[in-house]
Amino acid sequence: MNYQDNVLGLIGDTPLVRINKLTKERKIKAQVFAKMESLNPGYSVKDRIGVSMIDWAEEKGVLKKGGTIIEATSGNTGIGLAVVAAVRGYKCIFVLTEKVSIEKMRYLKGLGAEIVVCPAAAKAGTPDHYLVTAKRIADQTPNSFYPDQYNHPANPAAHYRTTGPEIWRDTDGKITHFVAGIGTGGTISGTGRYLKEQNPKIKVIGADPYGSIFKSYKDTGHVPEATPYLVEGIGQSLPTGNADMNTIDEIVNITDRESFDLARQLARTEGIFCGGSTGTNLAGAFKIAKDLDESAVVVFIVADTGEHYLTKFHSDEWMKEKLLLEPQRITASLIADTKSENSPTELISVEPDDIVSDALTRMTDAGITQMPVLQDNVPVGSFHESSILAKLLGDRELFNAKVSDIMDKSFPVVAVDTSLKIIKEKLQKHPAVLVEDFKRITGIITRSDVLDIHD
């Protein structure tokens, strides 16, 4: 029979996949390969350190039967630890920041872990900070193990022992550049150290979000003030013990926009569904690869799966809210469905036979200034506060008239997939456009709805 004793046998030995179309589009001559860490059983690169840190603790007698594992994590290390804990019978408490996606939080709970969520804005070293909180819980919990992935030597050791040799073996020793993000620094330092020992000419490149300190720290030795960014799992506000700056040759800064854009493109053009930090790594790989020739072999880490981010950057709605959505994906239905919090969620309309005073009340109650006049869901006119009030000033009797007596001409109708460009053109001539889906009017877009959307 061909089987693994348990799921831990599936960790590691992940394949390399060549990137084809995205490199061709950019006229990149070097070969670029994805190291598919998203294929581990917990769907991230962190499964490797979950098992190695727990092996260490068991060997040293730090973790005893029925013990509790407590760790600060952006989610993936928690998943890696929880998979091992499930197999070996330990309890887990993970301390996260509220920046961690809901998918990862639910995943951890699904694996039986308890989670504690800390404010993302808490400053390093303060009591609410997730690292300080994790340490405090560990100090207060008997028979517990606090791996501290940021400083634990079993973290880079796992990559030195497994990730590095796999890449060396699978590239036949031809790798010239290795690109990874830096969260704890375990992946880049352990893998990089192994590869450099095989061939000191191999360049190890860190991909760091703008806002994280690693690039400035590497380039100047100073730790700048960190600023917020959206990519999860990589970057820090303080250096970590496991990020070995001597192993890293160069660090490139990548924006959230570049990271998410490339992560989304990787799915659409190569079929590799990944997290945002993989987009950061790929952006770093492309920055390096553009100046290299055919002999170069660049390997970057696919750190985790896109399924952890379905409600985040893999959602057009989320991307639009963060002003990061590619303009060609901003369509009429998306704009109508993702209006600001103050706008009504349902389409508010009136019928031609409604009385003007009732229509005005409906508009005031909903906090809007214009609405379509619909008869059997077909637009027959429009009702604007300013134009109606002007008419009422001339003749107060019109309060009791029918809407059809006083309404203006109908707003133009656009299909759900109409582009932002065309909608903006129409809104220069009309105060609003109506959105039609399967011959039904389903939404309205006004000038203020598109004011903040950049194309």
Ligand X SMILES: Cc1ncc(COP(=O)(O)O)c(C=O)c1O
Regarding 247 and contact with ligand X (CB under 6 A), the answer is no
Separation CA 125–CA 147 (nearest Å): 18
Buried b (16+ CB within 10 A) or exposed e, 157-189: bbbbebbbbbbbebbeeebbbbbbbbbbbbbbb
Find, among 80, 72, 90, the residue nearest to 12 by Cα: 80
Q: Report the Cα–Cα distance between both ends of the chain, in Å, rounded.
A: 58
189: DSSP letter: H
Residues 19-48 that bind ligand X (CB under 6 A): 45-46
Stated length of the chain = 455
Separation CA 35–CA 45 (nearest Å): 10
Which residue of the set 35, 46, 196, 320 is catalytic? 46
What is the nearest approach in angstroms of ligand X to the Cβ of residue 45? 6
Count of residues near ligand X by CB under 6 A: 20
What is the nearest approach in angstroms of ligand X to the Cβ of residue 354? 54
Q: Among residues 203 and 363, whose Cβ is nearest to ligand X?
A: 203
Q: Among residues 68 and 184, whose Cβ is nearest to ligand X?
A: 184
Contacts of 299 (CB under 8 A, 6+ apart): 16, 32, 33, 34, 35, 167, 171, 175, 177, 178, 179
Of the residues 147, 186, 284, 372, which one makes contact with ligand X according to CB under 6 A: 186
Regarding 248 and contact with ligand X (CB under 6 A), the answer is no
Separation CA 215–CA 207 (nearest Å): 9
Residue least distant from ligand X (Cβ): 233
- State the DSSP string of 234-249: ---SS--TT--TTT--
Regarding 277 and contact with ligand X (CB under 6 A), the answer is yes
Of the residues 42, 78, 183, 192, which one makes contact with ligand X according to CB under 6 A: 183
Find, among 150, 175, 146, 151, the residue nearest to 163 by Cα: 175
Residues 373-402 that bind ligand X (CB under 6 A): none
Regarding 275 and contact with ligand X (CB under 6 A), the answer is yes
Residues 291-330 that bind ligand X (CB under 6 A): 303-304
Regarding 350 and contact with ligand X (CB under 6 A), the answer is no
Helix H segments across 290-419? 316-321, 332-337, 356-366, 385-394, 403-406
Of the residues 85, 137, 138, 234, which one makes contact with ligand X according to CB under 6 A: 234
Q: Is residue 190 a contact partner of residue 163, using CB atoms and an 8 Å limit?
A: yes
Site string for ligand X, 75-104 (x = CB under 6 A): -xx---------------------------
Part in contact with ligand X (CB under 6 A); list of ranges 72-80, 89-97, 255-263, 440-448: 72-80
Q: Is residue 424 annotated as part of the catalytic site, yes or no?
A: no
What is the nearest approach in angstroms of ligand X to the Cβ of residue 185? 5
Regarding 118 and contact with ligand X (CB under 6 A), the answer is no
Beta strands 297-302 and 177-181 are parallel
Catalytic residues: 46
Enumerate binding residues for ligand X (CB under 6 A): 45-46, 74, 76-77, 181-188, 232-234, 275, 277, 303-304
